[in-house]
Structure 1
Amino acid sequence: MAEKHYVVQGATCQCKFSVAPETDILQVKTQTKHYANDEGEEKLIASHKDIGQTMKKNTFGKCKKQPSGSDYLPCQTKITKWSGFYDKITLSNKGNPLLEDSKATCPMGAPDCIIIKDHGQTADLSKKNTESSSPEVLYEILPGVNFSELEDNVLMINNK
């Protein structure tokens, strides 16, 4: 799994058969216990069990696989399976976490026609980051601040 991110709720997906490469947002509907990249509030880890209508809009716009005269019919996203998930971990829903290079299959498209454009995790500085960082590292991030003169509570960060 070297250097790959877990896919979380809010990840952006795209189908290669979308006429005007539209994206949709992945919703995790199969589990409520496993989070990544936050304090266990929003970013549920997606798994290969997240199939069916698991996108926010459930459409990628018009589908090239559904021609209709001089136009195309609207996409109705329904994921039938995922590939490229991390099979060395099993979540409580018996699902394996999706990785940023996992792909999904739709019955209208071909296998692996839906890709993950953005895994959904963000790099946020949190209280835990500052507590575990050495003064030298903090100085590199925030030059000009003399951390030896500051009280410990100055480094408390509220990310809300």
Structure 2
Amino acid sequence: MANPIPYKVQSGETLQDIAKKLGIKDWTKLKEYHNLNAESGQQTPDIPYLGFSLLTPPLEEIYELNGEVPQPDPAEEQISAEQNQKKEKEKEEEEREQENAAKSEHDGKYFVVHNAKCVCDKAVNPKQTANLQVTSHQAIVFNDQTGKWLATEDDRTFIPPVATFGQCKLKPSSGGYLPCQLAAAPKWTKTYESTQVKGKNTLTEISELMCMVGGKITINKHGQIDSVSNAHADNTNPLELASVNPAIEQPPKTDRIPIIDSVEIIIKHTS
């Protein structure tokens, strides 16, 4: 709380006059304020004498004495507005960072399944593929297809097991490049942590497996197959299915007898 402000009483001034000058609605509040803050023996009478040092409240306390809310300082308002704007901007940036952090590089990518086609960047023939074998589990299957197990970070078996990716550019010899001798790292990288099978991260199209010889194995085809499942058939209109597939017999037609709710008879008079 700010210190009282001394006011020297002028000739003929009363407490009512001084209170009005200071903007205090009730002059008795001014008297109470002085007497509360003055030293012993310095109390003010109702009509102070000329030159009396009257202790008056600072502006913010005058509002309080009047039971009013202080008027905001334009400069302080500007500073407050700028601070609020800065806080809002920081909040938006924080939310944007959180949103970006929540996004994954796996968004929009297909999961990899059993028999996915893989390639090695150090193969002499870059189009040489090998089929990934899912051996880590038999729990999650895709596409309603038997054996389409979801691949995990522990699946490192390929067919063919010998010369898996053909000839290796990192193994030159006088007779040409030697066959690939895959020495896969213990786990795949760039795996999808948000979906796991038995505690193991799953693979998507961007997952990679390093070969200890120096090659990098990536996904060429994820292995999922578009197919018609039993669920699709159950939700298909038989007549529509027969119209697009001649091999399917159309459902038998049923004769429908019209149902009459009422009969209206109109009699016309003839002359």
Identify whether the pair has TM-score above 0.5, normalized to the shorter chain: yes
Of 218, 225, 234, 1:115 maps to 218
Q: Which residue of 1 aligns with 2:174?
A: 69
Distance in 2 (alpha carbons) for counterparts of 1:116 and 1:68:
28
CA contact (8 A) 2:166 2:179 kept: yes
Of 206, 212, 230, 1:101 maps to 206
Distance in 2 (alpha carbons) for counterparts of 1:120 and 1:69:
38
Q: Which letter maps to 1:28?
A: V
Q: Percent identity of the aligned residues?
A: 33
The alignment covers a number of residue pairs equal to 139
The structure with more helix, counted as a fraction of residues: 2
TM-score, normalised via structure 1 length: 0.75
User: Is 2:143 aligned against 1:33?
Assistant: no
Q: Which letter maps to 1:43?
A: K
- SS of aligned partner of 2:197: coil
**CA deviation profile, 1:27-76 (whole Å, cap 9, x unmatched):** 1111121111125x21111100113xx00113101100111124111101
CA contact (8 A) 1:12 1:24 kept: yes
Deviation at 1:139, TM superposition (A): 5.0
Structure 1 residues not aligned, in runs of 5+:
152-160
User: Is 2:231 aligned against 1:128?
Assistant: yes
Higher relative contact order (CA 8 A, sep 6+): 1
CA contact (8 A) 1:78 1:106 kept: yes
Q: Which letter maps to 1:85?
A: T
Deviation at 1:150, TM superposition (A): 3.7
- SS of aligned partner of 2:171: strand
Change (3 A) 1:107 1:35: same
Question: 4+ residue runs of structure 1 moved beyond 2 angstroms?
Answer: 130-133, 142-145
Distance in 2 (alpha carbons) for counterparts of 1:124 and 1:13:
22
CA RMSD of aligned residues (A): 2.5
Q: Which residue of 2 aligns with 1:20?
A: 125
Distance in 2 (alpha carbons) for counterparts of 1:84 and 1:16:
17
CA contact (8 A) 1:61 1:75 kept: yes
TM-score, normalised via structure 2 length: 0.46
Deviation at 1:144, TM superposition (A): 9.2
